[in-house]
Amino acid sequence: MKKVTAFAPATVANVSCGFDILGFAVEEMGDKVTVSLADEPGVRVVRIEGDGGRLPYEVDKNTCGVALKAFLAAIDYKGGLEVELYKGLPLGSGMGSSAASSVAALEAANQLLGNPLDKKALLPFAMKAEGVACGAEHADNVAPSLLGGFVLIRSYHPLDVTKLHVPKGLYCALVHPHLELNTADSRSVLRQQVPLKDAITQSGNIAGLVAGLYQEDMGLISRSLQDVIAEPSRSVLIPGFDEIKSAIKEVGALGVGISGSGPTTFILAPSREVAERASEICQEVFDKIGLEVDLYVSAVNTKGTYVINKA
Ligand code: HSE
């Protein structure tokens, strides 16, 4: 085997109440990365498509390059790898674009080199790439992109990550306005101190959401999808957010939140039909605002990254 191509899915981080500690993966949308054996030692990024010429080829600035360098150092591999990145996700969208690139690169390289590490052990290398992409080594995009489903980061130091149950019938709609929001900027607007009453509200909601997922209790999930920490500071940066929040109430959606650091908005729904109806309403909201949007309806992807081709 000389070459492996892997796919890694888009992700919704935070899921309202789980700032930096919860995320889930979606189906179909994502990035593809091909990693090939090369004679020259080290990692080289040789092709990037779908980014409009904006992503860096320098290994220490490219998320695939950063993740792979850290991975090769950890397994003490002295050979060379070439990387081709095919972006399926828009940059600065809040759908885990940087995470999908590094995760697909790690999955492809790990398989190419005979699986020296299990999937979960690849996580720290993808987190390092997030640090380069947005200034914070947060795991709530890379962990679900790698492992699939809903993933909880119980602790960062030491890293303690666990997959959660995905209720049957759970769907999401993603509303991506044609705007970019850089994660570092979107993090810079956050308060650094959280009042005790907000900490209590947020803890109740995250515990309620996890319980709701396990009990497949859509009402409990719905009541828990509230964020008093990041959303109040960030929602002003997201066009259409407040309008969507009030407009989708009647269609039976479970809740609305900012996907990661935005500007994509996510909606959770108890069925595909409700998610589709919510997405139609979002289209109407954005038609009124006069801003173009991409709309996606997806089930939760439970398998995470996977290999699509070996040669
Ligand atoms: N938890 C991160 C944030 C996710 O909200 O900044 C970024 O996609």
pLDDT per residue as tens, the chain (311 positions): 999 999 999 999 999 999 999 999 999 899 999 999 999 999 999 999 999 999 999 999 999 999 999 999 999 999 999 999 999 999 999 999 999 999 999 999 999 999 999 999 999 999 999 999 999 999 999 999 999 999 999 999 999 999 999 999 999 999 999 998 989 999 999 999 999 999 999 999 999 999 999 999 999 999 999 999 999 999 998 988 999 998 887 899 999 999 999 999 999 999 999 999 999 999 999 999 999 999 999 999 999 999 999 99
| Ligand 1 center from residue 47 Cα (angstroms) | 27
| Ligand 1 center from residue 77 Cα (angstroms) | 32
Task: Tell how far CA 193 is from the center of its chain.
Answer: 25
Q: Is 13 in the pocket of ligand 1 (CB under 6 A)?
A: yes
Q: How far apart are CA 146 and CA 107, in angstroms?
A: 8
Name beta bridge partners: 32. 7, 86
Place of tokens 């600035």: 61
Q: Whose CA is nearest to atom 8 of ligand 1?
A: 260
Name the DSSP letter for residue 174. E
Specify the 3-state DSSP secondary structure of 54: coil
Ligand 1 pocket test target in 63, 138, 156 with most atoms within 8 Å of CB: 138
Q: How far apart are CA 280 and CA 130, in angstroms?
A: 33
Give pLDDT, residue 219.
97
Ligand 1 pocket test target in 11, 12, 14 with most atoms within 8 Å of CB: 14
Q: Is 257 in the pocket of ligand 1 (CB under 6 A)?
A: no
Hey, which residues are catalytic here?
Answer: 130, 183
Q: 297: part of which helix (H) or strand (E)?
A: strand 293-299
For the chain, domain boundaries: 3-164+301-310, 171-299
Q: Is 227 in the pocket of ligand 1 (CB under 6 A)?
A: no
Tell me the whole-structure pTM to 2 decimals. Answer: 0.97
Give the atom of ligand 1 at the shortest distance from the alpha carbon of 261. 5
Task: With CA atoms as reference, report the closest residue to 300 among 198, 168, 136, 158.
Answer: 168
Residues belonging to the binding site are 90-100
Question: What is the domain class of 171-299 according to CATH?
Answer: alpha beta
Q: How far apart are CA 267 and CA 244, in angstroms?
A: 9
Q: Whose CA is nearest to atom 6 of ligand 1?
A: 261
With 0-12 CB in 10 A as exposed, 13-18 as middle and 19+ as buried, what is 291? middle
Give pLDDT, residue 28.
84
Task: With CA atoms as reference, report the closest residue to 77 among 32, 114, 47.
Answer: 114
State the maximum Cα–Cα separation within the chain, in Å, rounded to a whole number: 60
Q: CATH number of the domain at 3-164+301-310, out of 3.30.365.10, 3.30.230.10, 1.10.3720.10, 3.40.640.10? A: 3.30.230.10
